Structure 1
């Protein structure tokens, strides 16, 4: 009799371990929508209404790509380097170039400008009014130990 109970308990535990209590989504039945739609004339338009060229870049009304940046032309003559002056072990020397200067307006903000380093000492701070009644002056409620 005890062997049957042990066998039934073992079978029950093994069946319980085989079932997953959380449902699994069927990814094969749902496909994400494309990031663009095709107009009747064959023109592809993205979800924000911009026309797309055959490579998938946004184009304006004249057919020029929108948002393209010519990086070599934009950075021509700039020899800034984020690690300038640090020793680079694989070249065996300091990194060439200069550290990039901060952009316009980087020196204005919280903690910048005249008087930013003149932080008042605690003696110069205005005194706060005491909280009335102070927690140390109030007797505990009845029944409180």
Structure 2
């Protein structure tokens, strides 16, 4: 079976129902994976939406190293991490994650570290290998 991309970029004329059919999932599942979508009738070209669960992918992003997590870094890996943090109930996002590392990412990740039982410097919001591997950030295909 061909692997489905974890995220889909909305194109002109797309609807959530059409996207769900293309990726062999239900509209309800798309809405579950995309809590930032408050009205299923309103999506925009260029918008990135999640179209597959981590279990569907079978692969996770390898730990990119602590130096990766800087405000100058923009990567779909950061957005995928943010959605996993939301799924784990660790969100500190006002509007949902995006691809640029931010203070909301750091706070959300710190919440994840605390959930795992880390404290002090080990829960400062900078991902480390152990907590990253336990988060199971789905592989991002670009």
TM-score using structure 1 length: 0.16
TM-score using structure 2 length: 0.17
Higher strand share: 1
Greater CA radius of gyration, 1 or 2?
A: 1
Higher helix share: 2
